[in-house]
Chains A and B, each alone.
Chain A
Amino acid sequence: MATVNSAAELPLAERLLRPWNAFWFTPRDASTLSVIRIATGLLALYWAASYTPDLMNFFGPEGFVPLADLQRARGSTFPRSILEFCNTSGAIWTFHAIGLLILASFTAGFFSRTTGLLSVVVVVSYMQRAPAVTSQAEPVLLMLLLYLCVGPCGAKLSVDACLRRKPTGGASRAKASECGDSRSWLATLSTRLIQVHLTIAYVAMVLAKLNDGVPLTNEPGTYHAWWHGQAVWWLAAREHSPLLDVSPLLTSNILLVNAWTHAIVLFEAGFAIFIWRPAFRRFLLWAAVPMWLSLAVITGLAPFCLLMLVGNLAFVEPAAMRRIAGRLAGRSATSP
């Protein structure tokens, strides 16, 4: 009976699929996913809770976004948001409270997959009911929430994990099936989806910065902020948006403005390409921190910048994440 002794004897299709299978399906530990779950959940909670003072302004029947106008702009009355069914202030406040509860449960890792999917529904509801007040953060938030649901993001650092460790009962078995084994191919699939989609986002950001739709000419009046290296000024000098006013530092310093602007574009382009090379990964992940934090300061888009940093965590290996978590917890990390 002949047997397969080496990869070279496998059919061609299988040989070609091996790297693909290794990339997408090799089981990995869920430590990284669990940390991403907590960070994403906290930011989602903050994002949703910040709607509280303006709930009636944006979602109320007499607010700034009448439902009829929204449907007319959309060209369809097909509902895209649970808030479209909330016609009274009581219903809106009830949805808001339940939404916050769902996001908090997901953050804590309680029935993680279920609350994760419900979190997607909650965020989509806010976003689609008042799209005029959304920013760059919502697509990144939704991407993270959606892909976290694919994997066992509640396997560690979660209420689910605590309940699973309970000694007896069918309930603990149910919890185990809810969050799954901590080392699984679904953890890999979820992580890779975040990594790949984040890379797509970085590429799209670079394209968006460099392609402003205006012909690149030298005619007076035309201006291309990112090509000419002055975009950072036009962000930092806005009156109401930046978290801190750094324009006095920049107003006479053209070289700093140019360098900062070009660094942003180069970093985003470089990240998309070189993050996949282990030799560059650590440097890029560390360089991302000042990059995104500085962008948060000058744009005022703190949730968006922080979510990008959270997404970058997908490139941290689970073993490294366990070591970091162990150091933070004041004890050495144990192997799964």
Chain B
Amino acid sequence: MSAPQHTSTDSQAEAPDAAAGLPPETVRTFVTLALLFHLFVAIVAAIGSSRAYSDLVDRLVVKLVAPLHYPELLGFRSYASYGLTYNLDTDYEGAAEVVLDWEAGDEAEGDRVEAKQKLAFFDPEAIALPIRRQRYLSYIRQMGDLAAAEPPSPLEVEMPMAVSRALLAEADMPDGRHRFRLWRLPTNPPAFIDDARTPPARTIYEGNIAVRGGKLDFTKADRAAASSPVVPSRSPIAPPADGIPPIDDSPLGDRAIQPPTDGLPSNLRPFDPPFDNPARPNGNR
């Protein structure tokens, strides 16, 4: 009695595979299914992070990718940042500082504010390693994104407050009223652009800090919302032609940010050194 043909077919099909070093069919099947699922998730996560407006992709991200958690844990959904730059507001570098002993009259800024003591979030000149600089710049960019979010994010206070607390703690928490300021530093345009004027640096978020007996209280300052144009994160930095601020010395209403000819306020050029704390020569605590 001869063996059933399908049995000999199966075993003879398996034999060349095994001889070629392939894993058994069961293993291949299992791995294939896992591969198809994993690669599908990876593709949806990548596309879903790149500003796709398809309802289907959005739903797949919400229903399939998000509940798995591992794509987010492993950064599969981070590809939106691979645009590197769009010359938008959120792409610019920034700076953050705490101005000590802020007084009500300092709203008008001017020389008096420049003379005040400032605690800088970080000194890029003092940090030699580029990867470390990038971390601080990323943190500032994230703070700026939250500050510029429309509608306002309930978390916009948390990062500035944490930075303020950390900086003031290094300065032994001096009692009094202080001011947190977050700046956007626009990039100089190239010479080949017709209207090659750098918009001035501007504060995009300010907070009032009150310290008493080691306790810190932080509230968002209205001045930043009212006087500095908080550009939504998806808008380009260059305002319409009739809104470009002058680069002469004329004051800008009650904002009193005097844009110098090189486009940056004088208290940020050169970059102010951090508060002179021997325990923190390079940004470490």
A→B interface (CB under 8 Å):
1-4, 10, 14, 20-21, 24-27, 46-47, 50, 53-54, 56-58, 60, 62-66, 69, 72-73, 80, 124, 127-128, 132-136, 138-139, 142-143, 146, 183-185, 189, 193, 196-197, 200-201, 203-205, 207-209, 211-214, 220-226, 230-231, 233-235, 237-241, 243, 247, 250-254, 257, 299-303
Closest 3 CB pairs of A and B: A139-B75, A204-B79, A27-B21
Chain B, Cβ-Cβ closest to A146: B74
Known: A60-B285, A189-B31, A196-B39. A213 touches B131 (CB 8 A): no
30 example contacts (A-B, Cβ-Cβ < 8 A) are as follows A1-B8, A2-B9, A3-B9, A21-B22, A25-B31, A50-B131, A53-B132, A53-B282, A53-B284, A56-B284, A57-B166, A62-B165, A66-B162, A73-B155, A80-B73, A132-B142, A132-B159, A138-B75, A204-B46, A208-B50, A208-B83, A213-B51, A213-B86, A223-B86, A223-B238, A224-B86, A238-B93, A241-B137, A247-B188, A257-B190
Bound form: Cα–Cα A226–B5 in Å = 62
Known: A139-B76, A142-B74, A212-B86. A233 touches B162 (CB 8 A): no
Please tell me the number of chain B residues within 8 Å of chain A, measured between CB atoms: 83
Interface-centre pick from A73, A80, A146, A239 (highest chain B CB count, 10 A):
A239
Known: A233-B190, A234-B87. A69 touches B13 (CB 8 A): no
Bound form: Cα–Cα A63–B87 in Å = 31
Scan residues 259-285 of chain B and give those whose CB is less than 8 A from a CB of chain A: 282-285
Encode contact with A along B185-202: 1 for CB under 8 Å, 0 otherwise: 101111110000000000
Inter-chain contact B75/A251, CB cutoff 8 Å = no
Residues in B whose Cβ lies below 8 Å from that of A57: 166, 283-285
Inter-chain contact B240/A220, CB cutoff 8 Å = yes
Bound form: Cα–Cα A33–B8 in Å = 38
Among A3, A60, A69, A208, contact of B79 (Cβ-Cβ < 8 Å): A208
Inter-chain contact B50/A251, CB cutoff 8 Å = no
Among A27, A221, A226, A251, contact of B240 (Cβ-Cβ < 8 Å): A221
Interface-centre pick from B84, B129, B189, B191 (highest chain A CB count, 10 A):
B84
Interface-centre pick from A14, A189, A241, A300 (highest chain B CB count, 10 A):
A241
Bound form: Cα–Cα A146–B76 in Å = 12
CB distance from A135 to the nearest CB of B (A): 6
Inter-chain contact B82/A251, CB cutoff 8 Å = no
CB of B20 within 8 Å of the partner chain: yes
Inter-chain contact A238/B187, CB cutoff 8 Å = yes
Inter-chain contact B190/A250, CB cutoff 8 Å = yes
Among A63, A184, A233, contact of B285 (Cβ-Cβ < 8 Å): A63
Bound form: Cα–Cα A26–B169 in Å = 60
Among B46, B85, B285, contact of A201 (Cβ-Cβ < 8 Å): B46
Known: A80-B73, A237-B188, A302-B131. A26 touches B86 (CB 8 A): no
Bound form: Cα–Cα A300–B43 in Å = 28
CB distance from B159 to the nearest CB of A (A): 7
CB distance from A302 to the nearest CB of B (A): 6
Among B31, B47, B86, B284, contact of A225 (Cβ-Cβ < 8 Å): B86
CB of B138 within 8 Å of the partner chain: yes
Bound form: Cα–Cα A202–B281 in Å = 40
Inter-chain contact B192/A253, CB cutoff 8 Å = yes
Known: A128-B73, A132-B159, A225-B86. A50 touches B132 (CB 8 A): yes
Bound form: Cα–Cα A72–B284 in Å = 26
CB distance from A26 to the nearest CB of B (A): 7
Chain A, Cβ-Cβ closest to B3: A1
Bound form: Cα–Cα A60–B92 in Å = 27
Bound form: Cα–Cα A132–B134 in Å = 11
CB distance from A294 to the nearest CB of B (A): 13
Residues in B whose Cβ lies below 8 Å from that of A208: 50-51, 79-83
CB distance from A56 to the nearest CB of B (A): 5
Bound form: Cα–Cα A304–B197 in Å = 32
Inter-chain contact A142/B139, CB cutoff 8 Å = no
Among A139, A185, A221, contact of B21 (Cβ-Cβ < 8 Å): A185
Inter-chain contact B28/A21, CB cutoff 8 Å = yes
Inter-chain contact B282/A132, CB cutoff 8 Å = no
CB distance from B6 to the nearest CB of A (A): 10
Inter-chain contact B79/A201, CB cutoff 8 Å = yes
Residues in A whose Cβ lies below 8 Å from that of B132: 50, 53-54
Residues in A whose Cβ lies below 8 Å from that of B136: 133
Bound form: Cα–Cα A56–B282 in Å = 13
Among A10, A69, A132, A201, contact of B139 (Cβ-Cβ < 8 Å): A132
CB distance from B270 to the nearest CB of A (A): 11
Bound form: Cα–Cα A237–B93 in Å = 11
